[in-house]
Amino acid sequence: MSENYKFFQHKDCEYFPCHEGVPAEDFNCLFCYCPLYFLGRECGGSFTYTKKGVKNCMGCSRPHRRENYEVIIARLKEAMKLTGQRCAVEEAAAAKASADAAEKSAK
């Protein structure tokens, strides 16, 4: 199976690259807006807070590094478990297990 879904570049974007420190050929635009921003201090990235208390992620390249796709997804799954949510893959697996159990008990 291809892993093309893990990497995307939008070189025509007026902000590309929007963060320094990542080689242009490895700059991943898939997470243009960091999906871990909501985790605040627990996001694991390199950030500061402004005097007004706004999180400033300009110094962070974590979601834009090609090799960090799995890291970002793992953190999202952790956050989802903390909130009692499941990702689509887990939902599908649970639905299949339930259907299999129902089919087995019907026999």
Q: How far apart are CA 67 and CA 6, in angstroms?
A: 9
Q: What's the CA gap between 18 and 65, in Å, rounded? A: 12
Query: Which tens digits make up the pLDDT trace of 46-103?
Result: 999 999 999 999 899 999 999 999 999 999 998 888 777 666 666 777 778 888 888 8
pLDDT tens for residues 9-35? 999 999 898 888 899 899 999 998 999
Distance CA 5, CA 52 (A): 37
Side chain identity at residue 100, one-letter code: D
